[in-house]
Structure 1
């Protein structure tokens, strides 16, 4: 495992902690490492539940757009396809996952949070599917997972406004399961995972497989479409302006080209 993913056992609970503070941007290597960590948890009979956590200000602020910007369009598409292939593996894991969200979960970081079964957050947490503000199309399977979780209309509102919502708002619409103080995030996530881990392990795997039946396939089909849309949008002037305006913390001056 790379140094930016720390793995530790707490009884029957495995903790995967992203260590790329402060914003924990992901790339292909990090998503592959998380998928490998979940595979290892699946293969370990002593592990019955997983906590996905992060060190730093944000849970995950999304993809590292700075990586590979000098590459050709085809190279960028190939790299993103490889990343989405690894992301699809997250939805094929067999053990329940609790995400501990201590800060922002933005863009693909929101997608990562929604790969988990449950989310523990705090009032300081922020959630945004900010793709359209970047001149981009949603990815990471969010066109499946976000409507599944909060309903089509609420998901559309998040996608088409790119607005950020608070921890309290996320709890009210069912985006998170529990809200605690920021200092209690890790302990609350561990407590929920430990409660799950008290149950019979074979029954846990069987029941979760029934509840998530077909999800990995739906995400795979969604990411294929998401990739196609992202690939042409990535080459537009609006996308370049979206990334620039976001970095400069100002509204984008979009021209529709």
Structure 2
């Protein structure tokens, strides 16, 4: 396992730093999510790795998918079934090693879904968390219909989904979306510190405890992404979705027509 132009892998004792290298926004596509899945599966087989830190370069942790890209395959899936990107997401969720995410900036849409793969999130007041799918005119994805209410409760998840509002690091901490709040310059160091603290514990016991606490999560996510994909597939064809993406690009409130 080695670094790629999009993903930098660094080992420090029993902690591995996996760094997304698509600054400044770190938009994802199928290939990036697949690379993360491949890396996590390899780390599962590496006995020297006891904890993973997922971080990114640039100003955003991950601003989600770039729907304005000519190579966008997320909103234009080739087949009507489950989006292949979500199969790769399930592979990431299946990782057995504990994961700490370093959220130094925006975690938007599917980028928020990627942040919620982690067991813990270290963030800062400047960070922004948003599940802005409905603001763009389509159903949430990346398993967020399971992971977000699991973390913050159904009412707060409803609020974040229906409004698409952005919340800062302090509010994320208060509602349970984040676990540690530090200065922006200290986010990565604090995430690595937490991962090293986890790595001191007996690795077999940590993995066993984690598996117990996450029991049933992956099968639930498999069902969820199938449903999310079905809803997204028809909504991607609506005028509202076109308007949502256009409004985001033009930085104005969308004018939806329910069609």
* 1:130 to 1:71, Cα distance in 2 relative to 1, 3 A: closer
Q: 1:90 aligns with which of 89, 92, 100?
A: 92
SS at match of 1:6: strand
In the alignment, what sits opposite 2:188?
A: 186
* TM-score, length of structure 2 as denominator length: 0.96
- Per the TM alignment, residue 47 of structure 1 is displaced from its structure 2 partner at its CA by 0.5
- The number of equivalent residue pairs is 256
Number of the residue aligned with 1:115: 117
SS of 2:78's partner is helix
Change (3 A) 1:71 1:114: closer
Q: Taking structure 1 as reference, are residues 104 and 210 closer, same or farther at Cα in structure 2, changes over 3 Å only?
A: same
Partner residue of 2:55? 53
| Contact residue 131 and residue 159 of structure 1 kept, 8 A | yes
What SS class does the counterpart of residue 56 from structure 1 fall into? coil
Which aligned runs of 4 or more in structure 1 are off by greater than 4 angstroms?
A: 69-74
State the distance in 2 between where 1:130 and 1:247 align. Answer: 14
- Stretches of structure 1 lacking an aligned partner (at least 5 in a row): none
Distance 1:148 1:212 in 2: 11
The question of whether the paired residues in 2 share the 8 Å contact of 1:68 and 1:76 is answered with no
* Closer, same or farther: CA 49–244 of 1 in aligned 2, 3 Å: same
TM-score, scaled to structure 1: 0.96
Q: What's the counterpart of residue 75 of structure 1?
A: 78
Distance 2:208 2:10 in 1: 25
Please, what is the CA RMSD of the aligned residues? Answer: 1.6
| CA distance in 2: counterparts of 1:86 and 1:24, whole angstroms | 17
Query: Contact conserved, 2:7 with 2:21, CA < 8 A, in 1?
Result: yes
Change (3 A) 1:76 1:180: farther
1:205-250: CA deviations, max 9, x gaps? Answer: 1111101111111111100000000000000000000001001110
